[in-house]
Amino acid sequence: MKIGIIGATGYGGLELIRLLHNHQEVEKIKLFTSSDEGAIFSQKYSHLKKLYDQPLEKIDIDTLAELDVVFTSTPSGVSSKLLPPLLNGKTKFIDLSGDFRLKNLEDYEKWYKKEPAPSDAVEQSIYGLSEWNKEAIKEANLIANPGCYPTAVLLSLLPLLKEDLIHSDGLVIDAKSGISGAGNKPSMMTHFSETNENTAIYKIHEHQHIPEIEQAMKMFANSNSPITFTTTLVPMTRGILATSYAQITSEITEEQLYNCLVKQYQSNPFVRIIKETAKFGTNQVYGSNFCDIHVKVDARTGKATIVSVIDNLVKGAAGQAIQNMNIQFGFDETAGLMQVPLYI
Ligand SMILES: NC(=O)C1=CN([C@@H]2O[C@H](COP(=O)(O)OP(=O)(O)OC[C@H]3O[C@@H](n4cnc5c(N)ncnc54)[C@H](OP(=O)(O)O)[C@@H]3O)[C@@H](O)[C@H]2O)C=CC1
Ligand SMILES: CC(=O)N[C@@H](CCC(=O)OP(=O)(O)O)C(=O)O
């Protein structure tokens, strides 16, 4: 496999390189830049010395068209312009940004405040929630890799919504993320002195992942309710913990919710349903492609608390993108991805 990474210098790109490095099917990785053509990659990132001492290349349409698969790990508004002219060639594309996820172009404009991708490109894109869209992913030329928060939220809620074990009405989702979720460009949001010793809620009711979660709830669980979704930055580098609060449908027990999740994911290597646990946190998936899910019912309120954790850069971005490549090309789904989490 000859692979290209656009946005190789960013956090998602670096994580793609780390994971693809040990992938048996990968022969060559070309690294592209929009801002530093010719720079030796390992001089920018010393941890890659003796591994990637190659120059960064200019993004060139003809070079991209020669590759088997190209990952675009770029800010929103980039791949929507770059990829459409390339979509009918032999190269397959996996986009980590939000540019091709939302089928309703007005939603993209409203939530991302940017011009949407051309409608025919959006139409042919396949939503890459690996565990839920495998058949379509196998045939895809363009995969819209899910957002980090939607991955954590959807994997935990879809089975329960699909089986009508929880009500979609009144669903409240409170998600927390490490700072690397915001990429490598520092800002007032992510500056050390703003994030250290601080926990801050942001984009209240305005987060761009709201329409993505609602779209997928409709697509995979036939659920039409609007969600309440909030996001909080916590002072750590990696990890997402998403907690959802849902009213259970009558007479449903905790055991039934647990069994539903186990059944849904029994043949999926990266989703683990955790039953008894004194604590449940992001370190149990750190650096890995796992999504762990835990569910508890509060008999007093009739509500279920459903919690999931992922590493935003792995299952929430590069790991899921490689899992999708594996599915697309008929490789073992776990190829390059069975890291033991870095617990401590
Ligand atoms: N961080 C995360 O946890 C997750 C991120 N995502 C999404 O993935 C994408 C990448 O995220 P992340 O890696 O964190 O972002 P970063 O900001 O860390 O990196 C983005 C990279 O894109 C490149 N880039 C910037 N502008 C352009 C352009 N006009 N054309 C081509 N390349 C460009 C830059 O590299 P250079 O200057 O060398 O070209 C930059 O290093 C984003 O859309 C993000 O929202 C999705 C899930 C999780
Ligand atoms: C911590 C943090 O700032 N996270 C980012 C996630 C960005 C992202 O992944 O955005 P797209 O999926 O839309 O590309 C945020 O909340 O906007």
Per-residue pLDDT of the chain (344 residues; tens, 9 = 90+): 999 999 999 999 999 999 999 999 999 999 999 999 999 999 999 999 999 999 999 999 999 999 999 999 999 999 999 999 999 899 999 999 999 999 999 999 999 999 999 999 999 999 999 999 999 999 999 999 999 999 999 999 999 999 999 999 999 999 999 999 999 999 999 999 999 999 999 999 999 999 999 999 999 999 999 999 999 999 999 999 999 999 999 889 999 999 999 999 999 999 999 998 999 999 999 999 999 999 999 999 999 999 999 999 999 999 999 999 999 999 999 999 999 999 99
213 lines ligand 2 (CB under 6 A): no
133 lines ligand 1 (CB under 6 A): no
- Give the Cα separation of 304 and 249 in Å (integer): 10
77 lines ligand 1 (CB under 6 A): no
Q: Is there a domain that residue 334 lies in? A: no
- The answer to whether the beta carbons of residues 175 and 242 sit under 8 Å apart is yes
Closest CA to 29 of 19, 43, 44: 19
Distance 289 CA to ligand 1 centre (A): 20
Q: Is there a domain that residue 290 lies in? A: yes
Residue the block writes with tokens 């309703």? 104
Which atom of ligand 2 lies at the shortest distance from residue 178's CA? 1
> Based on the domain organization, do 161 and 299 belong to the same domain?
yes
> Based on the domain organization, do 9 and 123 belong to the same domain?
yes
- Give the Cα separation of 225 and 230 in Å (integer): 16
- The answer to whether the beta carbons of residues 316 and 152 sit under 8 Å apart is yes
> Based on the domain organization, do 99 and 153 belong to the same domain?
no
- pTM, rounded to two decimals: 0.98
> Based on the domain organization, do 135 and 13 belong to the same domain?
yes
Catalytic-role residue among 16, 69, 102, 148: 148
- What is the domain-level CATH number for residue 15? 3.40.50.720
- What is the domain-level CATH number for residue 159? 3.30.360.10
- The answer to whether the beta carbons of residues 64 and 1 sit under 8 Å apart is no
> Based on the domain organization, do 178 and 289 belong to the same domain?
yes
- Give the Cα separation of 329 and 332 in Å (integer): 9
DSSP state of 6: E
> Closest Cα to atom 3, ligand 2: which residue?
182
Q: Is there a domain that residue 139 lies in? A: yes
> Based on the domain organization, do 238 and 193 belong to the same domain?
yes
pLDDT score, position 40: 98
> Based on the domain organization, do 120 and 12 belong to the same domain?
yes
> Closest Cα to atom 1, ligand 1: which residue?
181
Which atom of ligand 2 lies at the shortest distance from residue 179's CA? 1
Q: Is there a domain that residue 341 lies in? A: no
Ligand 2, from 149, 154, 205, 320: best to mutate by most atoms within 8 Å of Cβ? 149
267 lines ligand 1 (CB under 6 A): no
76 lines ligand 2 (CB under 6 A): yes
The length of the chain, given as a count of residues: 344
> Closest Cα to atom 41, ligand 1: which residue?
10
> Based on the domain organization, do 133 and 153 belong to the same domain?
no
Determine the structural domain holding residue 73 and report its residue range.
2-145+315-329
Instruction: Name the region of 7 (left: φ>0; alpha: ψ -120 to 50; beta: rest).
Output: left
> Based on the domain organization, do 205 and 125 belong to the same domain?
no
Q: Is there a domain that residue 200 lies in? A: yes
- Give the Cα separation of 209 and 144 in Å (integer): 13
Distance 75 CA to ligand 1 centre (A): 4
The answer to whether residue 291 is catalytic is no
> Closest Cα to atom 3, ligand 1: which residue?
181
Q: Is there a domain that residue 337 lies in? A: no
> Based on the domain organization, do 97 and 214 belong to the same domain?
no
ipTM value for the complex: 0.98
Q: Is there a domain that residue 119 lies in? A: yes
Say what the alpha-carbon torsion angle 185, 183, 29, 134 is, to the nearest 10 degrees: -160
319 lines ligand 1 (CB under 6 A): no
Ligand 1, from 73, 100, 212: best to mutate by most atoms within 8 Å of Cβ? 73
- Give the Cα separation of 143 and 127 in Å (integer): 6
Q: Is there a domain that residue 344 lies in? A: no
Ligand 2, from 153, 173, 215, 231: best to mutate by most atoms within 8 Å of Cβ? 231
Q: What are the structure tokens assigned to 62, written together?
A: 């003809």
> Based on the domain organization, do 324 and 300 belong to the same domain?
no
What domain count does the chain have? 2
147 lines ligand 2 (CB under 6 A): yes
Ligand closest to Cα of 313 equals 1
41 burial (CB, 10 Å; 0-12 / 13-18 / 19+) is buried
pLDDT score, position 250: 87
320 lines ligand 1 (CB under 6 A): no
> Closest Cα to atom 15, ligand 1: which residue?
183
> Based on the domain organization, do 191 and 252 belong to the same domain?
yes
- The answer to whether the beta carbons of residues 149 and 173 sit under 8 Å apart is no
